[in-house]
Structures are given as C-alpha cells and as structure tokens.
Copies of this chain bind each other. A is one copy, B any other.
Amino acid sequence: MAEKIKKRSVKAGLPPGTLVHIGTQKVGESLIRILDYDEHGVREKNKAAVDECIPFRDTDSVTWIDIEGLQDIKLLGRLGECYRLHPLILEDILNTDQRPKSDDMESYIFVVLKMLDFDPASMEIISEQVSIVFGRNFVISIQEGHEGDLFEPLRERIRSGKGSIRKMGPDYLAYSLLDTIIDHYFLILEKIAERIETLEENVVSDPGPETLRQIHRLKREMIFLRNSAWPLREMIYGLEKSESELIRPATKIFLRDIYDHAVHIIDSIETYREMLSSMLDIYLSSVSNRMNQVMKVLTIIATIFMPLTFLAGVYGMNFKFMPEIGWRWGYPLVLLIMFTVAAVMLYLFKKKKWL
C-alpha cells in the first residue's frame, strides 16, 4: 500500500487533469478488445487499435471496449477525446490508488472499483483496479493488469446470445461487469474463512508465536478488504439511487441485487474481524493460563525442596556439639521428617487445586 501512495506524491504540484500513471508500471502494450452487439448480431475485434472504436461511436448497437493494462497513456488520451471524457476522469482511471466510487457525468457514468484475487505464491490478497465508463451506447472497461481474464465468460454469454444480455442496454452490461467482479469477492472470503477456521483450532490446541503472526496477518487483510468493501457498497448504492437516464428501471432491480451482495460481503468481513479479535483475546488468555501453569510447577518444586534442602543443610553443619548427629535413629528420623514435610506440602497444593 505504501508503495502506491508513494507514487502518488509524484503528482503533487502538477495541474489537475495531467495524465500520469500512478501504480506499478507494467511493461508491454495495453490490450484492446472491441465487442459490438445488438439483438441481431455480434461484431468482435481483439488487439484492436484505439481509433477502430470511432466508427461505433454513433451507432445504436452497444459497443464494449475492454482495455487491459494502463501503460499506454496516449491511448487513453485518444479514447478520452473520442468519447469526450472529462480530464479528471482520465486522471482517476490512471491513478490506481483510487477509492471505489461512481460519478454521474450526465452523458456518461464513471465507476471505479477493486477486483480482488489471491496471489497463488504468497497467498496474499492482490487487488487490481477496474474502471467502467458507460454511456448511451457504449461501455468502456479498463483493467489495471493482464493477469487472468475474469470477463471471458461474459463475452461468451454475449457471443452465444444466452440469457437476456443482448436485449439489454449498456447499463445492463456494466451491471454484469460489476456482478462478475463482486461474485469474485465471495471466493476471497471463502479462502479467508477456511484460514480462520484452521487458525481457530490452532488457538485452542497449540497456540504459539506463529499463530499470533497469522492472526495479525489476517487482521491486516481484513482491514484491507474492509477498505475496499465499504466504498463499494456506497458506490452501488449511488448507482441504484441515481436519477440518470442512463440506468433503466429494469436494471435497477439487478443493481439492488448486487447491493445486497455488497452488504453481505461487509457483514462477513465485520464478522471475521470480530472473530479475529475474539481469537486474539483467547490467545492472550491461553498464554496467561500457560504461564500460570509454569509458575505453579516452579512454585511446587521450590516449596517442596527448599525446606528439605535446608534441613539437609542443617545436619551438614560441622558443629562439634550437635547431639542429634550421634543419635542411633537420627538419620531415619530426619528422613521421616523430610518425607512428612513433603507430604504436607503436596496435600496443601492438592487442597488449593494446584495439582
């Protein structure tokens, strides 16, 4: 996180609307995919050039321009001119440290959110920014990176004409994109739920510094998830309540549905947070309990053997005049006393329930 914020300061002092890509610079080209469809057919173009989208600008069919990779700043600039996007919107698209939000710009609506995934190597959550702009007859989606292609099933659905997607407008396509991304959040939550459950057993059966480190790590991830999920909810709420004509009433029912999903995600996150807090309490209590056990063992040992050692020490003294030393039964007597002392001590510990 620190890394991204660091990049951001690069912009301090520049006039607003200056296009600078804030985020990990990825080598290679940005990939453009154009998919134009209406009820009757689909026209598709992969690895397209920017200007190829111009002819679709004024048709009535829905044009979906999907861009992967933010390297090519000029490309975005050209696109912005073509669809008359406000410079601040372009700036927001390039700044990958954006808070999820939606902006109603009258002739189009801008939505930005985080797509989450697990890094298979480190098992950490990685997030990628997705910006969606949709207007009367177009949807532009911009993904930060190349990895994976979450939207392929959607593309397939459009090609095959299954479901009602080809009959609906760009607002429905935008909703479908959001739905795809949000459904992916549940995958992340599942994985986390599994890890929490494993951890919960560990805390009870065998708590150690590693358990602590894992609780800490999960807590950090929950903070991160929460930062993505709360504004996500807000954003969808904004869309649902929007008075823009770009969102049809029929689509709002669907937005209401993903709003419920977002609320559900937040509920889960808060629940996990509370469970982690509770686990930390349990952990601390366990450590205290164990220390108590250790202390008891020490005290029992010391309490039994210190008096005995003292007694042995007394009869180890070299005084000339110690009558007991010469007694016939002195030694057995002392052993008996020692045994009695030890027995009484043990009895007392038993009574105090230390044993």
Q: Which of A301-319 contact B (CB under 8 A)?
A: 301-303, 305-310, 312-319
- A288 adjacent to B285 (CB under 8 Å): no
Interface centre among A11, A187, A329 (most CB of B within 10 A): A187
- The smallest beta-carbon distance between A201 and chain B, in angstroms, is 12
Give the size of the chain A interface in residues (CB under 8 angstroms). 115
Chain B, Cβ-Cβ closest to A315:
B317
- Which residues of chain B come closer than 8 Å to A49, judged between CB atoms? none
Query: How many copies altogether?
Result: 5
Contact of A294 among B197, B204, B295 (CB under 8 A): B295
> CA A38 – CA B5 in complex, angstroms?
35
The prevalent SS among residues of A at the interface is helix
Contact of A318 among B103, B287, B317 (CB under 8 A): B317
> CA A319 – CA B311 in complex, angstroms?
13
- A254 adjacent to B88 (CB under 8 Å): yes
> CA A302 – CA B324 in complex, angstroms?
26
Chain B, Cβ-Cβ closest to A97:
B264
A46 close to B (CB within 8 Å):
no
Interface 0/1 of A325-350, CB less than 8 Å to B? 11111110011001000000000000
- A5 adjacent to B189 (CB under 8 Å): yes
- Which residues of chain B come closer than 8 Å to A307, judged between CB atoms? 301, 305
A271 close to B (CB within 8 Å):
yes
A75 close to B (CB within 8 Å):
no
- The smallest beta-carbon distance between A351 and chain B, in angstroms, is 13
- The smallest beta-carbon distance between A333 and chain B, in angstroms, is 10
Known contacts A16-B179, A295-B295, A310-B305, A99 near B263 by CB under 8 Å: yes
- The smallest beta-carbon distance between A116 and chain B, in angstroms, is 12
Known contacts A99-B260, A186-B5, A227-B267, A298 near B291 by CB under 8 Å: no
Contact of A299 among B219, B298, B327 (CB under 8 A): B298
> CA A312 – CA B326 in complex, angstroms?
18
A241 close to B (CB within 8 Å):
no
- Which residues of chain B come closer than 8 Å to A99, judged between CB atoms? 260, 263-264, 267
Interface centre among A187, A254, A264 (most CB of B within 10 A): A264
- The smallest beta-carbon distance between A16 and chain B, in angstroms, is 6
> CA A2 – CA B205 in complex, angstroms?
20
11 contacting pairs across A/B (C-beta < 8 A): A5-B193, A13-B183, A15-B157, A99-B264, A212-B289, A291-B292, A294-B296, A298-B299, A299-B301, A312-B314, A317-B318
